[in-house]
Amino acid sequence: MKTPLTTPLLTFNLMGSAHPLCAEQAGPSPVKVFILAGQSNMEGQGVADLDGKDYNGGKGTLACLLRDPVKAPEVAHLREAPGKWAVRHDVWVRYQRERGPLLRGPLTMGFSVYGDAHHFGPELQFGWVMGNFISNQVLLIKTAWGGKSLYRDFRPPSSGGQVGPYYTKMIAEIREALANLKTDFPACDGGGYELAGFVWYHGWNDGCEPKTAVPQYETNLVNLIQDVRRELNAPNLPVVIGELTGPWVQAPGEWATLRQAQAAAAARAEFKGNALFVQTHDFVRKSEDSPNPGHGHHEFGNAETYYLVGDALGKGMKLLLQGGSQSWGNH
């Protein structure tokens, strides 16, 4: 197990690299590459430290958790010192936002759709779990766009009809990231890479189409996994499917059906041993205890929710890499 390499957060550059790059690659090659795909909850809506009336007085932020004597020990590793978020140079992140410059650099706060040091997504704790588990250098490639359905936007080729433009965009960005590894991360020692896993955290927009998208979700997700593996020439690529979280512990109607479809896709016989469904519903926190009470589709921006989701996805991937089962979660 590696000892995490942490340094103070120096700058946050909205025009290019998110954070300063280390002069030397911190972990050995080959670089272990994980793809984190989905929609807005994968983009990163967790609130780190914003407060005031627009953020419900800072309730449910990461800063709030760090002040809680009971919960602070679990998340303490994310902060190096007051006002300074920890940085891991043995885990890199690359995230091309749809409406913003490329973010790339060592794992720390801020690899979110907003491109600032005040938000984060599942990648933060997922990266810590993988970094602690894997001795090699780790690279997380985020390919996520808000408001995109699997039924239409991410529609994979095997589902027939028009291929979703964001399926095509996802594959193109993965290829671009792998081709530009040395350019994006100059410290890369040229020792190659290995595709290590694919994480899918998604579902809201399909749930909004209960008569069309929801009934097809399981089939479309199975096709997505198979097509991504085929495109990347990785037939047994480990896949973790994160349960649609949303604003409920027990989801109603079509939303419960969608969650069941996600679990059923992972349980397919053809995915035995290399796909896993991770439950997240118990991580939902109350809207009144969260920074964005009106954003149920973004889990209310609750930092604890996003931290726990990332942790669960990471532990699920770890279990798969160790040869674990097809279902895991907070039973």
Q: Which two tokens stand for residue 1?
A: 């197990």
Percentage above 70 pLDDT, the chain: 91
Q: What number is the average pLDDT over the span 3-27?
A: 51
Q: For residue 296, count CB atoms less than 10 angstroms from its CB and return exposed for 0-12, middle for 13-18, buried for 19 or more.
A: middle
Q: What one-character DSSP code corresponds to residue 267? A: T
Q: Which two tokens stand for residue 248?
A: 């409920």
Q: What one-character DSSP code corresponds to residue 78? A: G
Distances (CA, A) of 307 to 75, 123, 283, 302: 8, 9, 9, 9
pLDDT for the residue 5: 39
In angstroms, the CA 238 to CA 220 distance is: 18
Distances (CA, A) of 139 to 126, 130, 131, 176: 11, 10, 10, 14
Distances (CA, A) of 176 to 14, 36, 68, 184, 258: 20, 15, 42, 10, 32
Tens-digit pLDDT profile for residues 198-215 = 999 999 999 999 999 999
Q: For residue 323, count CB atoms less than 10 angstroms from its CB and return exposed for 0-12, middle for 13-18, buried for 19 or more.
A: exposed
pLDDT for the residue 323: 85
Q: What is 145-211 written as a DSSP string?
A: -TT--TTTTT--GGG-SSPPHHHHHHHHHHHHHHHTHHHH-TT--S--EEEEEEEEE--HHHHT-TT
Other C-beta atoms closer than 10 Å to the C-beta of 4 total: 17
Q: Can you give the residue ranges of every domain in the chain? A: 31-328
- pTM of the model as a whole: 0.92
Beta bridge partners of 327: 277
pLDDT for the residue 82: 86
Q: What number is the average pLDDT over the span 283-289?
A: 98
pLDDT for the residue 327: 41
Residue 300 corresponds to which amino acid? F
Dihedral (CA of 104, 110, 113, 115) sign: negative
Distances (CA, A) of 21 to 26, 92, 121, 185, 317: 11, 9, 21, 7, 26
Other C-beta atoms closer than 10 Å to the C-beta of 42 total: 27
Tens-digit pLDDT profile for residues 104-131 = 999 999 999 999 999 999 999 999 999 9
Tens-digit pLDDT profile for residues 23-54 = 789 999 999 999 999 999 999 999 999 999 99
| Beta-strand runs (E) in 19-63 | 31-38, 46-47
Q: Given pLDDT bands bounded at 50, 70 and 90, which one contains residue 326?
A: very low
- Tokens 């090659």 found at: 29
Distances (CA, A) of 207 to 162, 258, 262, 272, 314: 20, 7, 12, 26, 25
Q: Are 51 and 45 in contact (CB under 8 A)?
A: no
Beta bridge partners of 233: none
pLDDT for the residue 10: 28
Q: What one-character DSSP code corresponds to residue 21? A: P
Inter-axis angle of helices 213-231 and 253-266, nearest 10: 30
Tens-digit pLDDT profile for residues 229-253 = 999 999 999 999 999 999 999 999 9
Residue 190 has pLDDT above 60, yes or no: yes
In angstroms, the CA 37 to CA 192 distance is: 22
Out of 3.40.50.1110, 2.40.30.10, 3.40.50.300, 1.20.58.1880, the CATH code matching 31-328 is 3.40.50.1110
Is 279 strand, coil or helix? Answer: coil
Percentage above 90 pLDDT, the chain: 89
